[in-house]
Amino acid sequence: MTRLFLVRHGPTHAKSMVGWSDLPADLSDTAALFRLSAHLPEEAVVVSSDLSRAADTASAIQGDRLRLPHIEDLREIHFGDWELRRHSEIEAEDPDRIRAYWEYPGDVRPPGGESWNEVCARVDAAIDALVAEYLGRDLVVVGHFGMILTQIQRALRLEADQAFAHRIDNLSVTEISRLADGWQVGRINHHP
- Which amino acid does the sequence have at 107? D
In 3D space, the residue among 113, 143, 167, 126 whose CA is nearest the CA of residue 53 turns out to be 143
Cβ distance 24 to 55 under 8 Å? Answer: no
Q: Is 9 designated active site? A: yes
* β 2-8/173-179 pair status: antiparallel
Distance of alpha carbon 53 from alpha carbon 138, whole angstroms: 22
Phi and psi angles of residue 81, each rounded to the nearest 5 degrees, phi first = -70, -15
| DSSP code of residue 104 | S
| DSSP code of residue 125 | H
User: Rounded to the nearest 5 degrees, what angle is found at the Cα of 12, between the Cα atoms of 10 and 17?
Assistant: 120
Question: Given 9, 78, 114, 144, which residue is catalytic?
Answer: 9
Question: Given 72, 76, 91, 166, which residue is catalytic?
Answer: 76
* Residues whose CB falls within 8 Å of the CB of residue 34, separated by 6 or more in sequence, listed in order: none
Cβ distance 12 to 186 under 8 Å? Answer: no
Query: Mind telling me the catalytic residues?
Result: 9, 76
